[in-house]
Amino acid sequence: MFTAVIHLPGAITPERIDALADTLAALVAGVAAGVVGDAVIAAAHPEDPDVATMAESTGAALVARGHNPWAAAAGPARRPWLLCLEAGDVPAEGWIRTLDRFAATTSPEAVGRLRRPHAPLFERIAGRREALTGTRQIRAGDLVRAEALRAGLPLKVRLPVRPLRAALLRG
C-alpha cells in the first residue's frame, strides 16, 4: 500500500489549489481499490488557509516542504511505499494495477518511475539515464520506500530505477 505525497511548490494561487484538488480527486480510485492508504501534502506555504482547508477536508497530513518535499513527507507517511506526485499530476488509466504489481514484485531497494510526458525535456533525459545507472534523487512520478527517504536525500547509494508503463498526465 502507498502513501501519496503531493508536492505543492511556490506561492499559493487559485490555479495551484485547483491543481492540488485535481490530484487528490484522481487518487480516490486508488483509495477505493486499496492501493493508496493516505496522503501527505508537502507545501512551500503550509500556513495558507486554502491549503490547510484542502488537507483537512481530504484527511491528508500537511507538512512544510523544507529543502526536499519527498524527505519532509516521509516522516508522517504511514505506509511503506511513497507515490511522489506534484500538484496537477493525474494518473492515467491502468495506474492502480501498475502500482499494485510493482509493490508485490519489486525489491525494497528499487525505485519505480511512472512516465511524465509533460515534464521538462532535461528531466526526461535525466530519468532515462537514471534508468541505466540508478538514482540518488527522487522525482515526481517515483515510487520509493519511505525508509529510504527517512535516511535523507540525496540517497547514500544509487537505487536501481524500474521504468513503469503507467503515466502521469496534467490535470
Name the strand (E) or helix (H) holding 81: strand 81-86
Instruction: Record the cell numbers describing residue 1, joined without a space.
Output: 500500500
- Please report, in tens digits, the pLDDT of each residue of the chain (171 residues total): 999 999 998 889 999 999 999 999 999 999 999 999 999 999 988 899 999 999 999 999 999 988 889 999 999 999 999 999 999 999 999 999 999 999 999 988 899 999 999 999 999 999 899 999 999 999 999 999 999 888 877 788 899 999 999 999 997
- Side-chain-side CA neighbours of 25 within 13 Å: the count stands at 9
Domains, the chain, with CATH or none: 2-170 (3.90.550.10)
Q: What is the pTM of this model?
A: 0.94
DSSP 8-state assignment for residue 137: S
